[in-house]
Amino acid sequence: MKLQERLKPSGWYHRLQGLLTSEDFRKIIETLVVNSYEGKRFTPVIKDLFKAFELTPFDEIKALGLHVDHIHILERLHQKYPQSFHSSPSLTIFFVSAIAAS
């Protein structure tokens, strides 16, 4: 089943559609798939990347917390696809906060 079909019942697809249909997202998923085929391990496994969104209807969310365990993955993606990653002040603050908290 396609990701969009898995996310529609929970109400997330409509809200994430711009991201999920972007070229940047396609490249990120492609990189994860290639890494997986090359035997590189990461969690969650690809089929479960959006499991939390599937299991948690958008209308029932009261707060959303983002946590990045492995910022080096994003750094490697940026090195491989520098044209696909554009920095924004809010994203920079988030990453700086994530690094400071770890």
- pLDDT of 5 reads 92
**CA-CA distance, 98 to 68, in Å (whole number)?**
7
Would you call 42 helix, strand, or coil by DSSP? Answer: coil
DSSP 96: H
- pTM greater than the 0.75 cutoff: no
Residue 92 has a pLDDT of 45
Spatial separation of the C-alpha atoms in residues 40 and 45, rounded to whole Å: 11
* C-alpha 37, offset from chain centre: 19
Name the 3-class secondary structure at 29: helix
pLDDT tens sequence across 50-101 = 888 899 898 888 765 665 555 666 666 667 666 555 544 444 444 444 444 4
pLDDT at 44: 79
The tens digit of pLDDT for each residue in 14-38 reads 998 998 899 998 998 899 889 888 9
